[in-house]
Amino acid sequence: MAEITVVAELTAAVWKIEAAPGTRVAEGDTLVILESMKMEIPVMAPADGMVLAVLVAEGDQIEEGQAVATLVA
């Protein structure tokens, strides 16, 4: 099984976590929703798999390139 690290594409606040560890996801499913400049930006699963860990919490300020979750495909 391949482990995939999902990263944020921008500096933002974590607005909502949509997928908990153990959740099976399909490519394109929303894992986390970020908020930046009053816009909601979804962070989506890059492949089918299972969420291994969510590495952020709602309300966290995160940086561009920061890991937000890991998946196993």
pLDDT level of residue 69 (50, 70, 90 thresholds): very high
- From CA 36, how far away is CA 42, in angstroms rounded? 11
End-to-end CA gap in the chain: 6
All domains in the chain, ordered by first residue:
3-72 (2.40.50.100)
Mean predicted confidence (pLDDT) in 47-58: 98
**CB contact at 8 A, 68 and 43:** yes
Mind listing the pLDDT tens digit for each residue in 40-52?
Answer: 999 999 999 999 9
**Which amino acid is located at 19 in the chain?**
A
Mind listing the pLDDT tens digit for each residue in 11-21?
Answer: 999 999 999 99
**CB contact at 8 A, 65 and 53:** no
Q: Rounded to 10 degrees, what is the CA torsion of 13, 15, 20, 25?
A: -90
